[in-house]
């Protein structure tokens, strides 16, 4: 998926305004000693969500699909999957 952050964030705000509002509350804590605690408490309250279904599927009139060759796909919906990709790529 390729897109401008501003456009994707706008779609997210339209589709899930309550979640955006809750996430925006932790902004002042990012990069501080309180970040981990604040983020942890916030995520404990969240219900599972699906960006593709809840945001992208509700905005099909604002999206385009283009054919692309020689690319792969990996589902990264779980932390262990992201860790595996990082390991495969030689990232620390």
pLDDT at position 14, please? 95
pTM of the model: 0.66
Give the confidence band of 91 by pLDDT, cuts at 50, 70, 90.
confident
pLDDT at position 18, please? 93
pLDDT at position 33, please? 95
Measured CA to CA, the distance from residue 56 to residue 58 in angstroms comes to 5
Closest CA to 58 of 2, 3, 20, 10: 10
| Domain ranges across the chain | 5-88
- Tell me the per-residue pLDDT of 18-67, one tens digit each, with 9 for 90 and over: 999 999 999 999 999 999 999 999 889 888 899 999 999 999 998 998 89
12-21, 26-35, 68-77: range with lowest mean pLDDT: 68-77
Burial class for 51, CB neighbours closer than 10 Å (0-12, 13-18, 19+): middle
């Amino acid at each position: 998926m390729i897109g401008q952050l501003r456009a994707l964030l706008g779609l997210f705000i339209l589709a899930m305004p309550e979640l955006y509002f809750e996430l925006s509350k932790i902004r002042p804590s990012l990069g501080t000693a309180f970040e981990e605690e604040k983020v942890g408490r916030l995520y404990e309250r969240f219900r599972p969500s699906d960006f593709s279904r809840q945001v992208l599927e509700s905005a099909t009139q604002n999206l385009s699909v283009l054919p692309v060759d020689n690319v792969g796909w990996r589902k990264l919906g779980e932390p262990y999957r992201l860790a595996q990709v990082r390991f495969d790529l030689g990232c620390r």
